[in-house]
Structures are given as structure tokens and as C-alpha cells.
A and B are shown apart, each in its own frame.
Chain A
Amino acid sequence: MAQEMRATIHESLERKLNVLTDIVFYAGSVAIALLAGGLVMLVAGVSPIEAYKLIWDGAVGDANGFKETLVKATPLLFAGLCYTFAYRCGLFNIGAEGQLYVGALAGTVAALYVPGLPWYVHLPVCILAGCAGGAIWAGIAGFLKVGRGASEIINTIMLNYVAIYLVSYMVTGPMKEPGGTLPQTARLPDSALLGKLFDSRLHYGFLLAVAAAILLYFILHRTVWGYEIRAVGLNKQAAKVMGIPVNRNVLLVMMLSGAIAGIGGYAEIAGVQNRLFQNFSPGFGYDGIAVALVGGAHPLGNIGSAILFGGLRSGANAMQRMTGTSTSLVYVIQATIIILVVCNRYWFGGLKKRIIASLTARVVGRRSDARPEENVAVVLGIGEREGRS
């Protein structure tokens, strides 16, 4: 009995330590990535210290910088959640970019062509339209996967291009501002816009994104549906045998994942741009993958990593403003972060295990049984991919 108790304490402690070390090592990875980025700067002839100081000042240096960081974090969080949600169901939705575009398009259609509603009706209608747009776009890939077994990875990538051209066509053609010459739609009516927070560029979309993260966390970890999604994501075959409708879940998750990106797209339009035009997203959808990974494919973890990447972007903007250094550097830093985080287990897995073991041993006393190699992966949940067909 006592031993059982000890085992339970041991386990919960170990789990906490695991989360803790993960956070520490992820932070370490980010730090190393920044160092690597610094190296690239040196080669490119920029002073890394000065650049990072500018990035830091720009991102969190003052209230305005931080608000700007959150403005950037908003679409990134939506895109990260989009990737995360599909990932947890064993799907690779590389199509957040396209889904952002179509979401923005659908939301804008509702904003411009459903006139005369009070804001408390109009805004929700527009957001729902954005949802629907993203959901349909991702649903195409989901449908092709379920119905034809076509890889969602490739289809979502292809749909990104199609979406961007579709929006380009709409804003230069049918939805062009009446009487205007520019390739953009008319300004959205006030009733369709998202309000601003603290009298800055920060808008309610950010709160919407945080709410979406919490909702997804709740769905994944507290609900029956989330249980199904995770089971499908981890072991499709077993899920099927247990009676979980795999195909239905794949399709639904794909659609909800797209819907999240869809709101993200509309929020960017209704919160920041106020009208739709071509190429409004500078690759938020692709950055979302990095956000999801660094966030540990956990909805709440995404909030932190979206702010990190948002800060990186707004900081890099500040840096460019002051020194003219190209923001492309940020891509390099982002890529390095992704690589280091994904390979975390390979480089630091052993070290991490040893740290956890020695810490647990110090607190509870050593255990005799062997710890299979796989455990680390299970808790990490990253770099591991199960249940893919």
C-alpha cells in the first residue's frame, strides 16, 4: 500500500518535472536559435547585439511595442491553433494560410453584402461566415482524404495557392470597391469591425484567439469529442476498433481546424486592415506551424509561443525601421527554433531523462524498475508521430 502511494507521488512528481524540464529546454532551444540567428547577422554584416536590443525594445520595450506584439500574435495564434488541432487528430494541416484567406474572404462577403444589421448581429454573422469559409476550404482536403485517401499535406499546400489567387481575383474583379481603382474591397461597415482594445491597434480578435485556445483545450482534454480526437490521432486503428467514427472525426477536425484559421483571417481584416486586399497575410499560416510546435502542440502552449513569434516579428519590424535590416532574418531565426525544438529529444533527451531521474530520486527515492525509452516521447508528445495512415 505504502509502495503504491509512493508510486503515485512519484508519478505525479515526475510528470510535473517533465513539463518543467520541457519548458526549460524549449526556452534553451529558443535561446540557441537566437544565437544562431546572431551568427547569421554577423555574417550578413549586422551587429547582433544591437539588433537584438532593437528587437527586444520593439517587442516588449514599451506598452505600445507589446501591444503591437499582441497584434501580430493574434493571427499567429489562430494559425497555430489550426495546426495544433489537426495535429492532435493525426492530421497535417499545412493549409492555414489558404484557410486564413478564404475565411477573410467569406467574412468580408458577409460584412459587405449583408447590410443594415446592428453590430451585435452583424459581427457574429461575419465571424461565422469566416469560420464557414475556412471550414469549407480545409474540408475540401479533409473530404479528399476521407473519400479518396489523398494526402492532406499536399492538398492543403495546393489549396493555399488556389485561395490566394481566388482572393486576388475577387478583389480585382467582382468585389472591387465600387468606383475605386485599387485592387481592394470597400471598407467594411463599422458594424462588422472588431473593436479596439486600450485605444491601440490591438483589437478584440486577440481575446477571441485566446478564447479559442481555451476552448480547444477544453474540447481536447475535457470532452468526449476531444477524447475521440486524441484517440484517433494516436492510434487510428484502435480508435476504429473501439467504435470511434474515424472518418467523421477526420473530416470534422479538419473543418474545425480550418474554421479557426478562418476566424483568424477575418479577425485580421476586421481588426487591423478594415478591408480585404490581395496578399494581406505575410505567411501567418506557415508561421502557425512553428507556433504550434514550440507551443508543444498544446492549445494553451500556443498562446505563449504565438506571443513569442509575434514579438519576434514586431521586434524585427522595429529593427528594420531603425537599421534597415531585412526582416527575412526572422525567417532564419524561426526555422532554427523549429529545428531545435523538434530535435530537442535527440539532443537533450538523455540529459533530460537524467535530470528528471536525479531530481525524482532526491525527492522520493530511487525506483528499481526500468524506464522504457518510449516514456520520454510519450510525455513530450513532440517529434513523435503516431497513427498516421
Chain B
Amino acid sequence: GGADSGGDAAEPLKVALLTPGPINDNGWNATAYAGLTLIQEELGAETAYSEKVGNSDAAEFIRGYAEDGYDVIIGHGFEYGDVMKEIAPDFEDTWFLVNSSTLSQEPNLASLSLNNSEQGYLMGSIAALMSQTGKVAAIGGSEIPPITKSVQGFELGAKETVPSIEVLTTMLGGDSDVAKAKETAISFIEEGADVVMTNANQAGLGGIEAAKQKGVLAIGSNQDQNPNAPDTVVTSVIQDYPQAMKVVVERISKGEMKAESQLLGVKEGAIYLAPFHGFEDKIPQETKDKIEAIVASLMDGVKVISNE
């Protein structure tokens, strides 16, 4: 690896982040921002971020940060992969990290992705176990791999856990229309679904709101979404990008980073369940045991969910 300049103890590591959406979206982008904050706080790095960076502007930002001497540039989304691949060779002293991608390029481009299928699998299993009606629903936002995979994983998990379950799924085609997300969830709930999972960034909260209003349960995605609706969100399957990002940046700072793609999941502790909060006492022990067993099988590698 060429990017060893970050190891200088004298100067703090400089880390820049690009997100495709607004960092206050309570979802995908917020996660990355949280990761950056973690890096700043725990690794003492100097950080910068740019949000809502569309593809047409990405190169400009990435090159800009590289020229400004940033040691690590994190593109939070597969869409930055192409551009980073092109720019990376020009800045051998900088590490380029693409989140949610499987790209890599010697000597300084690596990628980090979480196993969204696994995340979905977990959510689906829990949803199926919690369902009384035998119907559960998953709603995805934009049609991009991390989301479609989590929805597909949801379906798989639900069916494997409770074979008789019926799974309703759909894509919203976007992340900003809260009203549409809420209505979609309502339509599924009225179809009979009694556990709903929404994975759609800003719009996602619409699904939880619908569940709350209709008195059914919701599974949170990506972050612990229980605080948004304590009586509705049973648990959330967290994809801990913050932790994962921190780990990777730490590796870079120690000079241990390799230019390869990294897929993290339950086993690596990057995907895990949020606390049950108020549901701790409401869920029957039997169900809790089943959930634990599924988590354990993923953790041990007994069960492997491919992210392809």
C-alpha cells in the first residue's frame, strides 16, 4: 500500500466524506456522518464532509479533497466507485474508500460494504416471528443494491423462518416522499401485514409512522429507530457503518490497510440487533430464543447469506 503518510503521529489524520444525500436524513447518509463524527472523536482525525454530492460533481469533490491533502476520502455509496477508480492513481498518498461497493484497485482504493442481504435476512426473520397475521411487509426506497438486497434478504429470511409467511414488498423509487412511503405502508397494513420494515432514508420514517398509527409493529433499519416510535419499533437491525468506517480508518492510520474490498456482516459485528427497549418484556421468551439462535448461526458462520 502506498498510503502510509497517514501514519504520521505529528499531524492528525485528515478524513473527508462524501454523501449522496442530506446528512440529516435519519438513514443512509446520517449513518456515514455518524461514522465521520466517530472518526473525529475517537481517532482524533481532522474531518470534512460534503453532502448531496451528485455524480456530476463527485470528481470535483474527490479531486479537491485529494489536492487539499486529505489522507482518506470516503465515498459513501457505490456511485462514487467509478470516479474514485479514475482519480486514485493520481494521488498515491491518499486512500480512497468506497462504501457499499466491492471495488478495489491497487494500491490505494478499497471498498467497504455491509452484508445487506444478511441485514434483510435478520429483519425478515424477526418480522416473521413477530407476525400474528402471517403477513409481513418490506418497503424499499431507491432502487439501489443496498436497499434492494435488504428487501430481498427480508423476503428470504421471513420465508426460511416461517415457511407459511406471506411477504409483501415494493420499491418507492425515491427517498424523499414521506407521504408516499406512509401510504404504501398503510396499504400493506390494510392488506393484513402486521409487521412493516421500511428502508428508505428520509421517507422511511413514513412507514414507521403508518405502523404506529395503525397499531402494528415495525422493524427499524440501519439505525436504532425505536426512539421515533417506542411502542411500534420492536427492534432495528443496525448496519454499523460508523463502527466499520472507524475500523477501516484506524487500519489506514496504522498502515495496515490493504487495497481490497471488505464485506462485513453479523460475524464481524457490523450488523447487529438494537435493544428491544420497551418490547423486552412483551416478546415471549420462545421468540427471543429463536431470534437469538438465528443471530448466533449467522455469527458462527453456520448460516451464510450471500450478498450477491
Contacts and interface: CB of A to CB of B under 8 A. Distances in A.
A–B in direct contact per CB < 8 Å: yes
Interface of A: 68, 71, 75, 165, 168, 172, 181-184, 187, 201, 268, 272-275, 277-282, 314, 317-318, 320-322, 324, 326-328
Interface string B62-78: 00110010000000001
A183 B144 contact: yes
Contacts of A187: 82
Contacts of B16: 321
Given A320-B50, A321-B50, A274 B82 contact: yes
Contact of A324 (B50, B55, B59, B78): B50
Contact of A182 (B54, B56, B68, B78): B78
Contacts of A277: 55, 79
A201 B52 contact: no
24 contacts: A165-B173, A168-B173, A181-B308, A183-B144, A184-B79, A201-B60, A274-B82, A275-B82, A278-B142, A278-B143, A280-B54, A282-B54, A282-B57, A314-B60, A317-B60, A317-B61, A318-B64, A320-B50, A321-B64, A322-B48, A326-B22, A326-B51, A326-B52, A328-B52
Contacts of A320: 50-51
Contacts of A172: 143
A321 B67 CA distance: 12
A184 to B, nearest CB: 8
7 closest A-B pairs by beta carbon, nearest first, are A282-B54, A320-B50, A172-B143, A181-B145, A321-B64, A321-B50, A68-B60
A321 B52 CA distance: 11
B82 A168 contact: no
B143 A168 contact: yes
B91 interface: no
B90 to A, nearest CB: 11
B50 A280 contact: no
B56 A273 contact: yes
A170 B175 CA distance: 19
Given A279-B55, A324-B51, 19 more contacts: A181-B145, A182-B78, A182-B79, A183-B144, A184-B79, A272-B56, A277-B79, A280-B55, A282-B57, A317-B57, A318-B64, A320-B50, A321-B48, A321-B50, A321-B64, A321-B68, A326-B22, A327-B52, A328-B52
Interface in B157-197: 173
B54 A317 contact: no
B52 A273 contact: no
A21 to B, nearest CB: 36
Contacts of B48: 321-322, 324
B279 interface: no
Contacts of B78: 182
A71 B22 CA distance: 24
Given A201-B60, A273-B56, A321 B65 contact: yes
Contacts of B276: none
A175 to B, nearest CB: 13
Given A168-B173, A277-B79, A201 B59 contact: yes
Contact of B50 (A165, A275, A281, A317): A317
A299 to B, nearest CB: 24
A182 B144 contact: yes
B55 A182 contact: no
A78 B286 CA distance: 64
Contacts of A181: 145, 308
Nearest to B144: A183
Interface string B246-281: 000000000000000000000000000000000000
Interface in B87-106: none
Contact of A279 (B54, B59, B145): B54
A183 B145 CA distance: 8
Contacts of B56: 75, 268, 272-273, 280-282
Contacts of B51: 320, 324, 326
A321 B47 CA distance: 11
A324 B49 contact: yes
Contacts of A321: 16, 48, 50, 61, 64-65, 68
Nearest to B81: A182
Contacts of B82: 187, 274-275
Contacts of A318: 64
Nearest to B51: A326
Contacts of B59: 201, 272
A50 to B, nearest CB: 15
A324 B19 CA distance: 11
Nearest to A172: B143
A316 to B, nearest CB: 10
Contacts of A268: 56
Nearest to A171: B143
Contacts of B22: 326
Contacts of A272: 56, 59
With a 10 A CB-CB cut-off, give which of A182, A277, A328 has the most chain B CB atoms. A182
A277 B218 CA distance: 32
A274 B85 CA distance: 13
A324 B49 CA distance: 6
Nearest to B57: A317
B32 to A, nearest CB: 13
Interface string B108-146: 000000000000000000000000000000000011110
A104 to B, nearest CB: 11
Interface string B22-62: 10000000000000000000000000111110111101110
